[in-house]
Structure 1
Amino acid sequence: MDFKSNVPIYLQVTADLKARILTGEIHPGDKLPSSRELALSYEINPNTAARIYTEMERQGLSYTKRGIGTFVTEDTSVLEYHREQELKRILHAFTSELKSFGYDTDDIPNLLKKYSEKKEVTE
């Protein structure tokens, strides 16, 4: 967590948990840590942890069973939607960066092929 960032802590932690869910580190149906456990692991206020779970539920990434805990959604369409949104965000940033270096959109497939086959990046 970057406590000096302009991005609120609850959004930073939400993004981290979301990434862990979308990459499969945390699986659909898995029980998430309690708000108190989450607060301890991220060294944040328990109220912030509760806000994180509220935000995750708002995004459809989790649900709460009263008295039992918070769980990752098992709705694969929701997870696929979020994966696609992340893909769009990453590709937009990637193509924008390449264009700022003077590459054309038509160059991108060849660049991807060329550099995805290399084992290391040289400086």
Structure 2
Amino acid sequence: MTQHFTRDKPIYSQLVDIICGDILKGNLQPGDKMLSVREYSLEVGVNVNTVQRVYKELEMMGLTDTKRGQGTFITTEEGRIQHLREDMKVELVTQFIQSIAAFGFSKEEIIQILQRKEESK
């Protein structure tokens, strides 16, 4: 399954986002063993060094634990996952607000649209 990447963000950063999304959606559960660096690089079609950077970034974020000789595992610390969830919410809402503001929409217009969308569910 070769991944399709955008040009606006480094590939390693896009892969970190994909894995974070999989954790938040429950596709990757706490304690799950991740593919080896080599296996994941083949699956997504990127260089092994890129995947090593992804895994290192995830570990620095506290989302994975590497056990020598066993592999890399999703953290079992629920607090880290909740922190990720909150960070992602804030980041996405901030990006949304900045995008909308760039087009000159008012806060009131945004609220009206969100309310209409919620009512139409």
The TM-score with structure 2 as length reference comes to 0.83
Q: Give, in angstroms, the shift of residue 103 of structure 1.
A: 4.2
| Gap change, CA 1:88 and 1:66, over 3 Å in 2 | same
Tell me what 2:14 maps to.
12
Counterpart Cα distance in 1 of 2:81 and 2:9: 23
Counterpart Cα distance in 2 of 1:103 and 1:7: 26
Q: Give, in angstroms, the shift of residue 111 of structure 1.
A: 2.8
Matched, 1:78 2:95: no
The TM-score with structure 1 as length reference comes to 0.82
Q: Output aligned runs, 1:1-123, within 5 Å.
A: 1-2=4-5, 5-118=7-120
| Gap change, CA 1:51 and 1:102, over 3 Å in 2 | closer
Q: Give, in angstroms, the shift of residue 9 of structure 1.
A: 1.6
Counterpart Cα distance in 2 of 1:94 and 1:10: 23
Q: Give, in angstroms, the shift of residue 107 of structure 1.
A: 4.9
Counterpart Cα distance in 1 of 2:89 and 2:12: 22
| Gap change, CA 1:74 and 1:96, over 3 Å in 2 | same
Describe the superposition over 1:67-100 as per-residue Cα deviations: whole angstroms up to 9, x where unpaired: 1110001111111111111101111122333444
Q: Give, in angstroms, the shift of residue 105 of structure 1.
A: 2.9
Structure 2: runs of 5 or more not aligned: none
Instruction: Give the root-mean-square deviation of aligned CA atoms.
Output: 2.0
How high is the sequence identity, in percent, across the aligned residues? 35
| Gap change, CA 1:63 and 1:94, over 3 Å in 2 | same
SS of alignment partner, residue 26 of structure 1 = coil
Aligned residues: 118
Q: Give, in angstroms, the shift of residue 109 of structure 1.
A: 4.2
Counterpart Cα distance in 1 of 2:14 and 2:113: 31
| Gap change, CA 1:90 and 1:6, over 3 Å in 2 | closer
